[in-house]
């Protein structure tokens, strides 16, 4: 999995701090919050995030074959 719990708790957001790595190059992706369509039982997503963690447009091109805006990767 691309994201793992850092074992730290952030009281400001009332959430576990999670470290996510870029799906392509393994670089940390700050401020990535995965969105899920379901738990993996209702469709064929297997419980994976809708948008994968990607650090740059170059990595997005490698995955999707198209260019995304730079602000969409942050």
Tokens of 22: 């870029």
Quick one: what percent of the chain has pLDDT higher than 70? 64
pTM confidence score: 0.61
Q: What is 11-30 written as a DSSP string? A: TTTTEEEEEEB-TTT--B-T
Regions in the chain scoring below 70 on pLDDT: 1-18, 66-74
Alpha carbon of residue 8 to chain centroid: 18
Predicted local confidence at residue 22, as pLDDT:
93
């Amino acid at each position: 999995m691309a994201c793992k719990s850092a074992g730290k708790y952030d009281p400001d957001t009332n959430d576990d701090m999670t470290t996510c790595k870029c799906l392509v190059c393994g670089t940390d992706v700050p401020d990535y919050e995965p969105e899920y369509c379901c738990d993996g039982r209702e469709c064929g997503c297997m419980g994976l995030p809708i948008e994968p963690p990607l650090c740059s447009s170059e990595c997005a091109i490698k995955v999707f074959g198209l260019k995304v805006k730079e602000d969409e990767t942050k």
